[in-house]
Structure 1
Amino acid sequence: MVDVVSVGTDVLADAVAEQAAGVERVDWRPPVPGTEDDLATVALDPLRPGANEQALAAMLAVQARLVDVRPAGEVLGLEPGRFLHAGPPIAWEQASGPLRGALMGAAALEGLVEDPEDAAERFARGDFTLEPCHHHASVGPMAGVVSPSMWMWVLEDPASGRRTHCTLNEGLGKVLRYGAYSPEVIERLRWMNDVLGPWLRVGVTQSEPVDVTGILTQMLQMGDEAHNRNRAGTLMLLRDLMPAMIRAEGDQSDQADLAEVVRFVGANDHFFLNLAMPACKLALDAARDIEGSTMVVAMARNGTEFGIQTAGTGEEWFTGPAQVADGLFLGDYGPEDANPDIGDSAITETAGLGGFAMATAPAIVRLVGGTVPDALATTRRMREITLGENPRWSIPVLDFDGTPSGIDVARVCRTGILPQINTGMAGAVAGVGQVGAGLVTPPAEIFPAALAALAARTRARVR
């Protein structure tokens, strides 16, 4: 029996298979056009192998622990009129509908305007400042808006003392992070500031630090992928925090508040997402500023642009137009109602979760579309563009292999395979809220742009 290896087109492979010969099909594609010289330069960089090994090891070594919950004004020094947002930097003039809606609602929450609609003119006038969450050791889902009074999780790596932060999750539907700002949205946020945040702080500060990395390890073996499915993670978090909260409860009003806190968290399957995200950022930030490394350390979207950062290019963003996700829609909504991709939550995929771990959460296809075989194939395909795997985050159905981790710009350009992200979809018009969920990839051009910058640094260094 003759075995044949077929590379590229299936015509030859099909012909051989029809003659009962063994065929090994290799899914080879030519490099992204225009990247050949930069790929050759980076491939010959003597620093690259060691730098990528260092970056991946640094990311995998981080242990994220939940150590506090406090208002953003305290932990980040945010002052009235300063707002953080998801994705790379953006001005009000370029901001999408959901980002504008979230900013307007946050301005009303802070008492800077009486009516959220009145905030638009003040943002346009430059009365308020906008800065990316990523520039403040933070991440935010969807619009990712952070204002001073919002309570934030505080995660810490005990080995280095570095910290990252994220706001509390509001739930799904008409919520601020999807751009909604109706009175009930603002009322819920005020309850979160007045009741939810303080109660969570009791649970966090009067317990041993919660091992968020450990919960991620467990939840991946329980059907979560830590981006759009966080059900097991949320319940494990409640398990860890509730004893201290119950011990601290006082009069009947406290008891009623605590009951509402437990109900709110337990009914919100996405609640743990806002801990998974800063845990991933904490890990990836450990890999920053490693000369010669081609590993991606951030993927983020502001609803207008999609940006990435790499370990070897510092704080520079490489951006392109954000894409509209392909997926399932709520009610009568359709693709024409959806805003392009938005949010810092792609930090989960950057670390090897979310779309990269879909094989461990096949039920996710009921939310984002596709089939169970698609989910398995996606995780396998992501191995083609990553530097290694995370042994902590194993996938039972793939014989407990670790999730693909450490996106490599060079491998993306060499294969043409783009990172797979599963995501929620916000309505394009400010105030609408969520319209669906689906699958999306970054704009292809941002990886060659990052590769060109890495190649330029290599050429300057080896001259």
Structure 2
Amino acid sequence: MTLSMLYGEPRVISAGASILAEALDQQAVPRREVAWRPPLPGTSDALALVLADPRREAANETAVGRLLSARPMLVGVRPARDALGLEPGTFFHAGPPITWERASGPMRGALVGAMLFEGLAPTPEEAERRLASGEGITLDSCHHHRTVGPMAGVVSPSMWMLEVSDAEHGGTAYCSLNEGLGKVLRYGAYGPEVIERLRWMGDVLGPVLQAALERTGPLDLRALVAQALQMGDELHNRNRAATSLMVREMAPAIVDASPGRAAEVLRFVNGNDHFFLNVGMAAAKVGADAARNVPGSSLVVAMARNGTEFGIQVSGLGDRWFTGPAGVPDGLYLGAYGPDDANPDIGDSTITETTGLGGFAMAAAPAIVRFVGGEVSDAVTATTSMYEITMAEHPAYQIPGLGFRGTPVGIDVTLVARTGILPVVNTGIAGRVAGTGQVGAGLVSPPVEAFTAALRALSQS
């Protein structure tokens, strides 16, 4: 063996530090590269305990199986006071629980707007005073109430909610209606035009959609999302195909249900390619919730941001949040805006990545790079890297450009710790000053602390 090494052609395997591999390349030495990374710092002991847990393999198979088999159906549109039992003065918001004192500009602006919309304050100044004092005000996370909301994600009693049921496992999830573009509540705007639009949505849009659904019956969202992926959407920041498919399904019923209002409703939806986002978020939420509360499972069932913190929840750890500081996305900015204008990451829309869409499906949507930055190859790389930290490939959500391979789905805390690879998230960027609106879009990574904390908790469970 010694002689063959001295006189034969060397066979080299490279792993780790790239500088050594580059030196071999410069000398034209053939080599095979192994994509090995050290575990996240400080996780070795906890990782060993979790990997040795006899429950883990079966628990993860159960949890991810529930996620993959969920059949989300859009079944209704109802006011939050009826759907969620929301009382006056109670507001739900995106991300982990947060107080007014720690809330970012967009979150504060959205709460002020919700106060004005509900008639709980005559002016923004009075709304801020009441929110700061906590006088008759209750704040809680949307995720605690089977709900998700984009960006600030604020939900108040008079807002109309999309209702999605899981025909396989029986769960229900909710999301507010999408407001459209420009200055909107979800980005922290609360001017008169924002309140007027919310009132129109409550008086016209919600009731018309509900009446149309009564005629069409439940809308199969799993099938719609699967088709939209093959038409160039990734279902987080690109929803053009999904919105069009939904309108195609519902337009005749909208006209039949409300001929006098149909034109303004369809015109509103037509002017907003992101209209389906909120529908898709509720579909993702009901699927992820089906995978919750499996003892021993290391499956991530929620990723969410409140503009201050980024938090995750894990199937085997109940409703506990594991958090770290929310980062500022890296991407493209609108007009004269730049990174100094950006708020840290915000919103529940990362429920799409949690269920194998959004950043995890960017290879299906090469045009997304024109919105979030980068090259088409970056979109493909983003998706392929996510297979390294997920448990499965989705049987229905497939990517044509990868030979109809299923999207990577089922983030495993242990795989994140073992590889050091963090989930890819593509997102809109909110202005840090309340009322600014959207200032750009880009990519962001969750904080490592959230995953290491969850891993330690799993090792003790």
What's the TM-score, normalizing by structure 1?
A: 0.96
> Paired residue for 2:80?
72
> Paired residue for 2:268?
264
Counterpart of 2:133 (choices 112, 115, 125) is 125
Q: Does the alignment pair 1:421 with 2:429?
A: no
**How big is the shift at 1:342?**
0.3
Cα separation, partners in 2 of 1:3 and 1:173, compared to 1, 3 Å: farther
- Separation (CA, whole Å) in 2 of partners of 1:333 and 1:290: 44
Residues 37-60 of structure 1, C-alpha deviations (whole Å, 9 max, x = no match): 001101111111111111110100
Displaced runs of 4 or more, over 6 A: none
> Paired residue for 1:171?
180
- Separation (CA, whole Å) in 1 of partners of 2:320 and 2:258: 48
> Paired residue for 1:61?
69
Q: Does the alignment pair 1:430 with 2:434?
A: yes
Alignment of 1:35-434 (within 5 A): 35-127=43-135, 128-250=137-259, 254=260, 257-434=261-438
Residues 354-378 of structure 1, C-alpha deviations (whole Å, 9 max, x = no match): 0010000011111111111110001
**How big is the shift at 1:157?**
1.0
Counterpart of 1:31 (choices 34, 39, 62) is 39
Residues 396-418 of structure 1, C-alpha deviations (whole Å, 9 max, x = no match): 11111111100011111111111
SS at match of 2:296: coil
- Separation (CA, whole Å) in 1 of partners of 2:169 and 2:296: 23
Counterpart of 2:30 (choices 22, 26, 36) is 22
- Separation (CA, whole Å) in 2 of partners of 1:24 and 1:358: 28
Q: What is the alpha-carbon root mean square deviation over aligned residues?
A: 1.1
Q: Does the alignment pair 1:6 with 2:10?
A: no
- Separation (CA, whole Å) in 2 of partners of 1:84 and 1:402: 34
**How big is the shift at 1:79?**
1.0
- Separation (CA, whole Å) in 1 of partners of 2:105 and 2:182: 16
- Separation (CA, whole Å) in 2 of partners of 1:104 and 1:233: 32
- Separation (CA, whole Å) in 2 of partners of 1:44 and 1:402: 29
Gap runs ≥5 in structure 2: 1-8
> Paired residue for 1:455?
459
- Separation (CA, whole Å) in 1 of partners of 2:201 and 2:442: 28
Letter in 2 for 1:176: L
**How big is the shift at 1:19?**
4.2
Q: Percent identity?
A: 61
Residues 71-126 of structure 1, C-alpha deviations (whole Å, 9 max, x = no match): 10010010111100000000111111000000000111111112233201001111
**How big is the shift at 1:331?**
1.0
**How big is the shift at 1:258?**
1.3
Gap runs ≥5 in structure 1: 458-463
SS at match of 1:445: helix
**How big is the shift at 1:21?**
4.2
- Separation (CA, whole Å) in 1 of partners of 2:124 and 2:393: 45
Residues 429-458 of structure 1, C-alpha deviations (whole Å, 9 max, x = no match): 11111111110011111111000000011x
**How big is the shift at 1:381?**
0.6
